[in-house]
Structure formats: C-alpha cells, structure tokens
C-alpha cells in the first residue's frame, strides 16, 4: 500500500523527469525513472527520485518535507565525508519530491519508489499502529466492570431465588433481564454527541478535526512543543519579537507578506 501511495503521489503531482538515455534527452513520467538514469532539472522542477549530483550550477533545493527546514539548501557536487550523515547535511544529494528553487542540476538516480527517503517515510506511516485514546481505554475498563457486576447480579438473583424455592426458569429470565438493563446502551450515543460538540468548538477556533476520537486526545493536550511552528503550519517562519539594546519590539504579519508593523 505504501508503494502504491508513492506512485499515486507522483501521478497526482504530474511529476515528469528530463532523462538522458543513450545520448538523447527524453521527458518521461517520474514512475518510469530507474536507478542509473541521468536526470536534469532546473528552477521550478520537482526532483523525481533520489540521486547523487554530478552538476550543480548555483543549485538550491527546498527540502522542508524531509528536514523541516524552510530555507532552500545550496547544493554541491563535492562528496560529503562521514558515516550516517544527517539528511539535511547531504548537500551532494537530491531527494524525490523536493523542489528546485534556483539554478540547475544533473544527477545520477540512486533510488526510486519505496527506496527513496519519501518512500521510507511512507512505509513507516503505513506501519503505524493505531493506539487507543485515554477515553477509549476508560470505556473499555467501564465495559469490563459493568459486565462483571451484571454477571455477579445474575448469579445472586438465581442463588437467592433458589433458596426461597422459586422456579429456576423464571429466575434465569429475571436475571438476564436485569443484566441487560444494567448495560448502558445509550453510552455510545452520549459519547459521540459530546465529541461532536467538541469538534464544533475546535472548528470555531480554526482547528478542523478529521476523526472524532482525535477530539478527546487533542482536548487532553496541555502543550505542544515544537522548535519551529511556522514550518509546521505555513512552511514559513516569521519573526515575532526583536530585541535591540535591552528594548523589546513586537512584530506583526505572516510569512513573507509585507503587511504588518513593528
């Protein structure tokens, strides 16, 4: 499924590759690129695969999707020395789905599809197990407790009834009726209603929730720690405060817009 999602992403974005094969330049769909191909790109192109650069003319590539850094990276053909070099420091490499912002380059394809860095991320996401939220765990515990109490009540009703000399069949029917009555059949509807109200409250604050159970998880969150919130939201970091000689200035505006004031 992860491999299919990578191929679907390439088709959705209509990524094409400029490839040199047999001395001839061809424009082919990105999913047809294979390791060993020579791919060329310039400003405005999306890199169709992972590869090692052999030409980098003032080449800058934006790799925010992989590194979280919104600033384009200046690339070079000089090999990076070392083992386990962080992805953001591999300036001699270009990665699939990153965007060329300046210059032109040429690379030898080293990985495609699920072998790329984007493909590995997609594979990890496909293998993520859905954990139960605190509310779900509490509801599971409540269900177990109610079931045990209903079973105990059923046994006690039958036991005391037999001691009094009542008919077993009648006692069994009464016990089953009491056990069923103890189960809160309206609880799922109440929980769904409460989560829906939470979704509306978050939507009024500008937060759109895709899954109802995420409302409870987000509602129990007291703090979200991030080094660069602008990278997560707009992919644009914005200065908010300026300190000069002991004086503090607040800065308005969003992203690269020229509106706002100090």
| Catalytic center residues | 227
Largest CA distance in the chain: 100
Cα separation, 137 vs 134, in Å, equals 5
| Percentages (nearest 5) of helix, strand, coil residues in the chain | 40, 20, 35
DSSP 54: E
Q: Collapse the DSSP code of 165 into the 3-class scheme (helix H, G, I; strand E, B; otherwise coil) and give the result.
A: coil
Contacts of 209 (CB under 8 A, 6+ apart): 198, 199, 202, 203, 215, 218
CB 72 within 8 A of CB 102: yes
CB 231 within 8 A of CB 70: yes
Rounded to the nearest 5°, which phi and psi values hold at 120? -65, -40
17 - beta bridge partners?
28
CB 61 within 8 A of CB 100: yes
Contacts of 114 (CB under 8 A, 6+ apart): 2, 3, 6, 120, 122, 123
Cα separation, 70 vs 42, in Å, equals 19
- Give the pair of three-digit tokens for residue 229: 């919130």
């Amino acid at each position: 499924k992860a491999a299919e999602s990578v191929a679907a992403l390439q088709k959705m974005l209509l990524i094409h590759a400029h490839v040199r094969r047999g001395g001839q330049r061809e424009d082919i769909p990105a999913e047809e690129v294979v390791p060993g191909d020579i791919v060329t790109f310039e400003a405005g192109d999306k890199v169709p695969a992972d590869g090692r650069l052999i030409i980098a003319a003032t080449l800058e590539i934006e790799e925010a999707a992989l590194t979280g850094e919104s600033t384009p990276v200046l690339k070079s053909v000089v090999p990076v020395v070392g083992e386990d070099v962080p992805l953001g420091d591999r300036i001699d490499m270009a990665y699939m789905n990153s965007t060329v912002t300046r210059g032109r380059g040429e690379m030898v394809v080293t990985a495609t599809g699920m072998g790329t860095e984007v493909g590995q991320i997609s594979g990890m996401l496909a293998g993520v197990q859905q954990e139960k939220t605190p509310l779900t765990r509490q509801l599971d515990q409540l269900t177990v407790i109610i079931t045990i109490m209903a079973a105990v009540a059923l046994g006690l009703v039958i036991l005391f009834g037999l001691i009094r000399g009542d008919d077993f069949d009648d006692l069994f029917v009464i016990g089953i009726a009491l056990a069923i009555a103890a189960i809160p059949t309206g609880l799922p509807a109440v929980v769904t209603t409460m989560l829906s109200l939470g979704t509306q409250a978050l939507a009024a604050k500008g937060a759109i929730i895709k899954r109802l159970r995420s409302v409870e998880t987000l509602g129990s969150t007291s703090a979200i720690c991030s080094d660069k919130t602008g990278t997560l939201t707009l992919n644009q970091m914005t200065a908010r405060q300026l300190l000069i000689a002991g004086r503090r200035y607040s800065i308005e505006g969003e992203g690269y817009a020229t509106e706002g004031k100090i």
